[in-house]
Chains A and B, each alone.
Chain A
Amino acid sequence: MRTSILIAAVAVMITAACGGGETPKGDEKITLTIAGFGDFGFKPLYEEYKQTHKNIEIQERISEYAAHHNNLISHLATGSGAADIEAVEIGYLSSFTATPNRFHNLLDLGAKDLESTYLPWKWQQALSTDKKTLIGLGTDVGGMAMCYRTDLFAKAGLPTNRHEVSKLWPTWEQYVATGKRYKTALPDSYFMEASGNMYRAIVEQAPTGVYDDADKLVVETNPIVKQAWDLTVDAISAGLSNRLTAWTPEWTAAFGQGTFATIVCPAWMTSYIENNAKDAAGKWDVAAVPGGAGSMGGSHLALPKQGKHAKEAFELIKWLTAPEQQKKVFKSTGNFPSTPSLYTDPDLTGFSKAFFNNAPIGKIFSESAKAVKPQHQGPKQGDVFNAIGAGLGRIEQGKQKPDEAWAQVLADAKKLA
C-alpha cells in the first residue's frame, strides 16, 4: 500500500469538497493572498490547486521571519492590510491564541472534522485558551533528535553507533553524565553548543511547562521548571557548553570546525548543518533525543478576520495542510509533516541523508514527534523562555552565580505575568 487509508479518505473528502461540491459564482475570480516567511514549498501546489478551482487566483508574499510577523501584527492591530492567509510560527502563535479575536474561528468553517488528521499537540497549539476557537491548521513540525559528531565521540572513547549512542541517554540526567565523561576525556572540547535548547526541550517534554492550562505563569511553582534549570546549570558548571549564540556566523562556523559534539536537532536543523558544514560530511550522525520526544519550531496557517474570503481561504489551507500535500512539501523542502498518517509512509520512514551516515532521520523524527505530549502554551511563552535562556547565558558567561541568575529570572518572569 502506497498510501494509508486515512490519506485516501482525506483525499476523497477533498475531491468531494473541492472538485464537485464547489460552485463557482459565475466567472468571478477570487484572489487569495498568502503571506509567509520562508520556503513553505507551496508554489507548485498552487498551480495544482488552480486546476480544480478555476475561480481561484493565488498570490504569495514572502518576507523574512521577524519582518513577516511584525508586519502581521501591525496589520492585525490596524485592522487592514493582512493577507487572506497568514503563516504563523510557533514562537508567535501563543500570543495570538491568547487573544484569538482577530482571526476566523476555523471550527466554525468546518475544521471540526479535521482534528484526527493532525498530531494532537499540533492541533492543540492553535486552540485558544478556552478551547473554543481554532486559529490555524498545522503545516510542518520540528520533530526532534540529537545530532552528534562521531569523530569526537570516538576520540572521547564513547560509542559512535547511533543505537548505542541513543542508549547512552534515555534521560537528560544521563545525557549530562555522558557529557561529563566526554569532558574528562577531551577537556578542550565542548559537549554541547549552548545550554538553552537543552533546557527548553526538558521543560517542553513535561505535561505542564511554564504556564498552566488557565494561562497562569507557573515558573516559580512548577517543580520541573527549576529541576530542568538545576540540571542545565550542572551541565554548564561542568564546562559542557560551548556558549555559542544561535544564528551568528560564529555559530555557523562552529558546525564545520567541530568545536562541540552534540546539538539538539529539530528536523530543519539537519538541512542547516548539511548546508553549513559541507566539509564535515560523514562526521555527523543522528541519535534519539533524551526523554524521547520533542518538537522545535513549526508553523500554522491562520485566517485574519479582516480577510473577505474566509470560506475559500479555509478550503485552500485545508488542502495545503492535508497529508498528501504535506508529503509533497516534505519531498521538495524537507519540512517535516504534522500529519501522523504519513509517519508510517515508506517515503518518510525510509528517508535518510548521506551527510549523516545515512541515519534514518525520517524514522527518528517521526517517533519523536509522535511521542510529544500536548502542553499548554501561554501568551508570552517565548518571552518566558527567552528570559530563562538569558539567565543561563549569564551563568555560562560567568556574569552571575546560579542563584543570582535564578532570582533575576523570577523577577523577569513576574514582569511578564
Chain B
Amino acid sequence: MNRRLTYLTLLGSLFFAVFPFYFSFVVASHDNSALAQVKLLPGPNFLENVRRVFATVPFDLALANSALVASVNTCSVVLFSTLAGFAFAKLRFRGRTPLLLSVIATMMVPTQLGIIPLFILITRFEWHDTLAAVIVPALVNAFGVFFMTQYLSEALPTELLEAGRMDGCANHRLFWHVVLPAARPAMAVLGMLTFLGTWNDYLWPLVVLASPENQTVQVGLSQLRAGYVQDYSLALTGTVLATLPLIVVFGALSKQLIGGIMQGAVKG
C-alpha cells in the first residue's frame, strides 16, 4: 500500500472514530428536542447544559475521586502485571502453566454476578462507602497479567536475560534493568487502558459508594440519567465533560507515553 492510500485509510478510520464523539458534542449543545431530527451542527445550548450538569453533580469532587482511584489502580496494575508477566513469560517455576491458566480463567466469570458476593466481603471489611472498596479489589487484574505475559514472551529476548544472569544479576535487578525498559510500550498501553477502564467503571462503584463526597465521575453522571424522562442532551453533556480531562491528559502525555517508546523498544 502506498503512502497516499495509507493516509487515506487512516483518515477514514479517524473520521469514524471522531464522528460519534463530535456528535455527542452536537447533541450536548442542543436541547433534547434536537433528537427528533438528525442535527449535524452544534447548537447554542452547550453552556446552559454545562451549568445544569454542575448544578446536579458535585463534579469537581467526583473528578478528584476518579483521578485518585484511576491513578492508584493504574500504577498498581501496571507494576504488578509487569512483575507477574515477567515471571510467567520468562522464569521457570513449578506450577507455572496451571497458575497462568487460572489467571485467564478468572476473566471468565460474568461481572454482574460477582457483585453480590463481593459486596458481602466489602461489608465484612467495613469498607462500604469508602474509596478502598473501589480501589483494593482492582489493584491487579487478570487482563493485565495475561497481557504482560504474552507481550514479554515475544518482546523480551531470552538472550538478554541470560546475559544479565551471566553477570550475576538477580531477578529483581533483571526486572529493573532489563525487563522494565523492554516492557515500556506495553506498560504505557496497559496504563492507558486501565486508566480508561477505571475511569468509566460504573456498576460496582455505584453499589459501594453512597455518600456524595465519595462519588466517582460515572456515579455522579448517573444522576443525569435519572427519572422517567431521559434527557439525552444533559446526559451527553456530562459524558463530554467527563471525557475532556481524559483527552487532555492523554493528549499531553501521548508524546511521553507513546512517542518516546518507539526508541525505548528493545531490538532483538
Contact = CB atoms under 8 A, between A and B. Distances in A.
Given A61-B210, A249-B232, A38 B227 contact: yes
Contacts of A80: 123, 128
A383 interface: no
A53 to B, nearest CB: 20
B229 A77 contact: no
A380 to B, nearest CB: 20
B64 interface: no
A392 B212 CA distance: 43
A113 to B, nearest CB: 31
Contacts of A38: 226-228
A59 interface: yes
Interface residues on B, range: 20 to 34
B9 interface: no
Contacts, number: 94
Nearest to B208: A81
B219 interface: yes
Interface string A236-276: 00000000000101001101110000000000100110011
Interface residues of A, number: 38
B37 A256 contact: yes
A39 B129 CA distance: 23
B36 A255 contact: yes
Given A59-B211, A74-B119, A253 B35 contact: yes
A39 B31 CA distance: 18
A78 B121 CA distance: 10
Contact of B230 (A39, A77, A81, A247): A247
B226 A39 contact: yes
B33 interface: yes
Interface string A64-80: 11011001001101111
A160 B33 CA distance: 25
A256 B36 contact: yes
A63 to B, nearest CB: 5
Contacts of B33: 256, 275-279
A392 to B, nearest CB: 22
Contacts of A59: 211-212
A36 B222 CA distance: 12
Contact of A74 (B36, B115, B211, B222): B115
A33 interface: yes
Contacts of A277: 33, 36
B228 A81 contact: no
A78 B123 contact: yes
Interface of A: 33, 36-39, 59, 61-65, 67-68, 71, 74-75, 77-81, 83, 247, 249, 252-253, 255-257, 268, 271-272, 275-279, 297
In order of increasing CB-CB distance, the 10 nearest A-B pairs are A38-B227, A256-B36, A278-B33, A38-B226, A64-B225, A63-B222, A62-B223, A253-B36, A268-B228, A80-B123
